[in-house]
Amino acid sequence: MELVYSQHRSEIIEFLYAPFIVKVKPDDRQEVWSQKQRLILKEAFLVQKQLESIFEDMSEQLSTYLIGSNFGFLHFLYFELLEEGKDPETIEEACHLLANVSQDKAERAIRFALAAVNQGEYDEKASLITILERTDMKAEDKWKWFQAIRRPIETVREQVDLVVAVAPVYRPYYQQFQQQRLIFARHFSYEKIYGEHGLYKSSGVEELNYDEIQFCVLSPWLTQFSYIYNRHYQTYPVILCASVDIDQMLLTDQLIDEDLLTTTLKIISDETRYKVMVALTKPYAKSKDIAEQLAITGAAVSFHTQKLINAKLLLFNSEDKTIKFDVNKKLLRDMIAKLEEDFEL
């Protein structure tokens, strides 16, 4: 399977993330990272904090930017453009096209975005309101998406206006890391992450039997490594987005040391999070059911799930369709072995 790097699509996807910067706090993400991982992104964190400071006056406006699961509403609308053969070369051209889409396209993008939030469960017949109600979003986020459903064209234009406002400020920081992105794109090894001798056995994409997939590289402060797969698309059904140095982040802690051990123990020391981890590895596990069993909100389940994924305690299961996650048995065994060695158990 070949990764086909696209510089201009990478840029557009990144700039569609830019308004979301102020909502992602580096301190929150660093909680699940070891000291070695934090050092890898030391420079990126400085940029992140600078961007947060610059955008602080716009924080109220930017809080209305719609992000679903890894990707935003405008990302899905951009994917719609690609599917119909429109391939803008710049973010400015992309924004012009996005601002002039039809209502049908906007509603289709909302449907795909909400399907991603619902773990890929695409329902073509259900109303958008029904699909929204099925999500585990917080009430305030549901309200934002409800407004998008109620007034899709106006929402698209408002969202595009946020990107247009942020882009000129964001661009100098983006350009500073142009060389790093190009080097990363040239040297990134998919096989080191996924494959027989990789960190993980499979991503699930291999089973789809595509000869090539689109590869988009983002700046390091976005700490992104995710796929978007849409079986309804013919042009680019699979896109892999990876931020600079994410491979080092994932591969740096293959050997257990005190830093990784204590960081991971801290993650699972939360009783509720531990129960969520156990529940997610059972067949047919659903976030809503887990939330009811543990008397917590669906948003809390999603929060704990993301923490566990980031800490590599949960791995996506690509072999058994009834089980979405496997516990990372190798990591747990290595932790136990480390404890046995340190305490001569």
Q: Please list the residues that pair with 227 across neighbouring strands.
A: 240
Q: Is pLDDT of 26 > 70?
A: no
Q: Is pLDDT of 8 > 70?
A: yes
pLDDT at residue number 142:
92
pLDDT at residue number 300:
85
d(CA 50, CA 45): 9
Look at 28-42, 68-82, 130-144, 149-163 and tell me which has the smallest mean pLDDT. Answer: 28-42
Instruction: List CB contacts of 294: < 8 A, sequence separation 6 or more.
Output: 272, 275, 276, 279, 301
pLDDT at residue number 30:
58
The pLDDT confidence band at residue 27, using thresholds 50, 70 and 90, is low
Task: Give me the mean pLDDT over the 234-258 stretch.
Answer: 85
pLDDT at residue number 28:
55
pLDDT in tens, 300-321: 888 898 888 878 898 877 677 6
pLDDT in tens, 32-72: 677 888 888 899 989 988 998 898 888 888 989 998 778 99
Q: Which tokens hold the place of 122?
A: 């695409």
Q: Please list the residues that pair with 216 across neighbouring strands.
A: 241
d(CA 256, CA 334): 7
Q: Tokens 């596990």 appear where?
A: 285
Q: Is pLDDT of 176 > 90?
A: yes
pLDDT at residue number 306:
82
Highest mean pLDDT among 88-102, 204-218, 234-248, 271-285 belongs to 88-102
pLDDT at residue number 249:
84
Chain-centroid distance, C-alpha 332: 24
Full set of structural domains in the chain with CATH = 2-253 (no CATH), 255-343 (1.10.10.10)
pLDDT at residue number 21:
80
pLDDT at residue number 330:
85
d(CA 62, CA 85): 30
d(CA 147, CA 153): 11
Query: To 10 degrees, the CA torsion angle through 337, 339, 340, 342?
Result: 120
**191, containing H or E segment:** helix 190-193
Q: Other C-beta atoms within 10 Å of 49: how many?
A: 14
Least Cα distance to 137 among 68, 210, 44, 71 occurs for 68
Q: Is pLDDT of 252 > 80?
A: no
Handedness of CA 302, 304, 305, 307 (dihedral sign): positive
CB 119 within 8 A of CB 79: no
